[in-house]
C-alpha cells in the first residue's frame, strides 16, 4: 500500500494567510507560577491547562524548551481542526514514540494508506458486528472477577486492564489471552510507558534501553499469531470471521502491516477502555447515590441473566453514568495534529509543521457548555450536549473507530460487575495521572464481595 501524504491545499485557507495575524498568546511568568502551584496542589498537569485557558482564552502556545505546540480548547476549534480543516493536517509526527511504535498503524497513518486501512477494518468494529462480541465480553469479566477473594483488596485498574485485554484479543483476533497474560504483562506495561508523556517531549532521542526487548517479545508473539492464522486460512480456505481474518485475507497487506494494525488495536483498544472502566469503578465507590441508581437499574433490567444487546438498550442510566465518567475523566484527554501547510484560523497564523492540539479535558470542563462542570452528575446527559463540546471519541473522519465497541464493552463489563458484586472503595483520594491515557492514581483500591 503506497504511503501518501495528505494535506490537499485548501484555497480559502491559503488565501486567508495574506491577512494580518493575531499573535498567539503565551503564558507569562506569573501565569506559569500559578499553573505550577495548581500542578503541585492537584498532582496533575491537566488542571494547569485549565488555568492557562482561563487566562489566555481558547488558544495559546505552550512555551517549553524545544516544545511549543499550539494548545486549543472548545467546540469551535475542535470542529475546525477535526472536520473543516482536516485535510490540512497530518496525524503522524514521525519522531513521537507512538509513531515509532505503531509504524503504519491506523491511529498514526495518514492519507490514502489511512483511509484504505480504515475501510478494510471498519466492518469488524461496526455496530452490526458487536452483537457477536457481547458474550465474550461478559465471559471475560467473569473469568477475571471470579479470581477475587472477598477479604482481599484489589486495585481495579490492573483488574479491568486484564478484562479489556482478554476482550480485544478474543473478539478481534480469536485468541484466548488468559494463559499468556502473565508472560506479556510486563512487556505491555513497558511499551505503554514508552509512549506515555515524558522526557522525550523535550529530548526526542532519550535512550530507552529496556523498551526494545519488551517490544521484541510482543512482536514475536504477534507474528506467531499471524503465521498460524495464515496457515489455517490457506489449509482450510475458511472465510475470515474476525479482524485478523480480514487483514490476513486482504490483498497487498503483508505481515508487517498486520502487526502494525494488531498492535494499534491492542494499545488503542484496551488502554483507553481501562482508563474509562477504572474511573467508572472509582465513581461507583465514591458516589453512593449514583451507584445505588446503577444497582437498581441493573437489577430490574438483567435480573439473573447475563447481559445481552437487548438489555443494553434498556440500561439508560448506565449510559449516562458512562458519559459523565468520560466527560470528567476522558481517557484520551488530548488530540494532536501537525499542520501540513500554512493556514489561518480566527486570525491566528499556523505555520506548516507546527503541532496543534485540542484539549478534550478542558473542553469537557468549560462553563460555556457545562453547568457546575466539576460535579459528577450523569443526568446532565438527559439533554444533548452542544456539538463538539463532548468528544471523548474525537470527531470527524478520524474519530475513534472503536467508539461503538468501547461503549458496548463498558456497558457489558459494568453491568456484569454490578449484577454480581458489591464494591467498597478503600482509598477515596486519587489524582489524575497522565499516562498514555488518564488514570486514577495511586489506583482504585476496592474490596469486591459477591452479592
In the complex with ligand HEM, the residue whose CB is nearer, 247 or 406, is 406
Distance CA 17, CA 14 (A): 6
CB of 373 closer than 8 Å to CB of 93: no
400 binds ligand HEM (CB under 6 A): yes
Q: Interface residues for ligand HEM in 298-317 (CB under 6 A)?
A: none
124 binds ligand HEM (CB under 6 A): no
Which of 187, 276, 298, 435 binds ligand HEM (CB under 6 A)? It is: 276
What is the closest distance, in whole angstroms, from the C-beta atom of residue 267 to ligand HEM in the complex?
9
In the complex with ligand HEM, the residue whose CB is nearer, 38 or 272, is 272
268 binds ligand HEM (CB under 6 A): yes
Q: Which three cell numbers stand for residue 97?
A: 514514540
- Number of residue whose CB is nearest ligand HEM: 402
392 binds ligand HEM (CB under 6 A): yes
394 binds ligand HEM (CB under 6 A): yes
In the complex with ligand HEM, the residue whose CB is nearer, 58 or 364, is 364
Distance CA 18, CA 9 (A): 15
CB atoms within 10 A of CB 293: 16
What is the closest distance, in whole angstroms, from the C-beta atom of residue 189 to ligand HEM in the complex?
19
CB of 163 closer than 8 Å to CB of 141: yes
Nearest CA among 101, 122, 104, 111 for reference residue 257: 104
106 binds ligand HEM (CB under 6 A): yes
388 binds ligand HEM (CB under 6 A): no
Which of 191, 273, 325, 419 binds ligand HEM (CB under 6 A)? It is: 273
Q: Interface residues for ligand HEM in 166-225 (CB under 6 A)?
A: 168
333 binds ligand HEM (CB under 6 A): no
264 binds ligand HEM (CB under 6 A): yes
Q: Please provide residue 253's backbone torsions phi and psi, each rounded to the nearest 5 degrees.
A: -105, 110
Which of 140, 187, 188, 406 binds ligand HEM (CB under 6 A)? It is: 406
What is the closest distance, in whole angstroms, from the C-beta atom of residue 258 to ligand HEM in the complex?
14
338 binds ligand HEM (CB under 6 A): no
Which of 279, 282, 390, 393 binds ligand HEM (CB under 6 A)? It is: 393
259 binds ligand HEM (CB under 6 A): no
The residue ranges that bind ligand HEM (CB under 6 A) are 106-107, 118, 125, 168, 264-265, 268-269, 272-273, 276, 331-332, 335, 392-394, 398-402, 405-406
Amino acid at each position: 500500500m503506497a504511503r501518501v501524504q495528505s494535506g490537499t491545499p485548501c484555497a480559502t485557507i491559503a488565501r486567508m494567510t495574506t491577512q494580518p495575524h493575531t499573535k498567539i498568546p503565551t503564558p507569562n511568568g506569573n501565569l506559569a507560577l500559578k499553573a505550577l502551584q495548581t500542578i503541585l496542589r492537584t498532582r496533575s498537569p491537566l488542571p494547569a491547562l485549565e488555568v492557562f485557558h482561563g487566562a489566555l482564552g481558547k488558544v495559546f502556545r505552550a512555551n517549553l524548551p524545544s516544545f511549543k505546540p499550539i494548545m486549543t480548547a472548545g467546540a469551535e476549534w475542535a470542529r475546525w481542526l477535526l472536520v473543516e480543516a482536516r485535510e490540512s493536517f497530518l496525524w503522524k509526527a514521525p519522531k513521537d514514540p507512538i509513531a515509532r511504535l505503531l509504524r503504519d498503524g491506523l491511529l498514526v497513518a495518514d492519507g490514502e494508506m489511512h483511509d484504505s486501512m480504515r475501510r478494510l477494518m471498519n466492518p469488524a468494529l461496526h455496530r452490526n458486528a458487536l452483537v457477536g462480541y457481547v458474550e465474550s465480553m461478559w465471559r471475560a469479566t467473569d473469568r477475571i472477577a471470579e479470581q477475587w477473594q472477598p477479604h482481599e483488596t484489589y486495585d481495579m485498574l490492573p483488574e479491568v486492564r486484564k478484562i479489556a485485554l482478554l476482550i480485544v484479543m478474543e473478539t478481534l483476533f480469536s485468541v484466548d489471552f488468559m494463559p499468556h497474560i502473565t508472560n506479556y504483562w510486563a512487556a505491555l506495561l513497558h511499551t505503554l510507558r514508552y509512549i506515555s508523556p515524558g522526557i522525550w517531549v523535550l529530548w526526542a532521542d532519550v535512550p530507552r534501553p529496556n523498551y526494545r526487548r519488551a517490544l521484541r517479545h510482543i512482536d514475536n508473539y504477534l507474528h506467531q499469531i499471524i503465521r498460524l492464522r495464515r496457515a489455517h486460512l490457506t489449509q482450510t480456505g475458511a472465510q475470515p470471521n474476525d479482524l485478523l481474518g480480514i487483514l490476513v485475507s486482504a490483498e497487498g497487506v503483508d505481515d508487517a502491516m498486520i502487526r502494525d494494525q494488531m498492535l494499534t488495536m491492542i494499545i488503542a483498544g484496551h488502554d483507553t477502555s481501562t482508563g474509562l472502566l477504572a474511573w467508572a469503578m472509582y465513581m461507583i465507590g465514591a458516589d453512593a447515590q449514583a451507584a445505588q441508581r446503577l444497582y437498581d437499574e441493573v437489577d430490574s433490567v438483567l435480573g439473573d441473566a447475563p447481559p445481552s444487546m437487548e438489555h443494553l438498550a434498556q440500561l439508560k442510566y448506565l449510559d449516562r453514568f458512562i458519559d459523565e465518567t468520560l466527560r470528567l475523566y476522558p481517557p484520551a484527554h488530548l488530540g494532536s495534529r501537525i499542520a501540513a501547510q500554512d493556514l489561518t484560523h480566527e486570525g491566528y497564523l499556523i505555520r506548516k509543521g507546527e503541532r496543534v492540539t485540542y484539549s478534550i479535558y478542558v473542553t469537557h470542563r468549560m462553563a460555556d457548555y457545562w453547568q457546575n462542570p466539576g460535579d459528577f452528575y450523569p443526568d446532565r446527559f438527559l439533554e444533548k450536549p452542544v456539538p463538539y463540546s463532548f468528544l471523548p471519541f474525537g470527531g470527524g473522519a478520524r474519530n475513534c473507530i472503536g467508539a461503538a465497541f468501547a461503549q458496548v464493552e463498558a456497558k457489558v463489563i459494568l453491568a456484569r460487575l454490578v449484577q454480581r458484586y458489591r464494591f467498597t472503595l478503600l482509598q477515596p483520594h486519587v489524582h489524575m495521572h497522565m499516562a498514555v491515557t488518564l488514570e486514577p492514581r495511586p489506583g482504585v483500591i476496592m474490596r469486591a464481595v459477591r452479592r
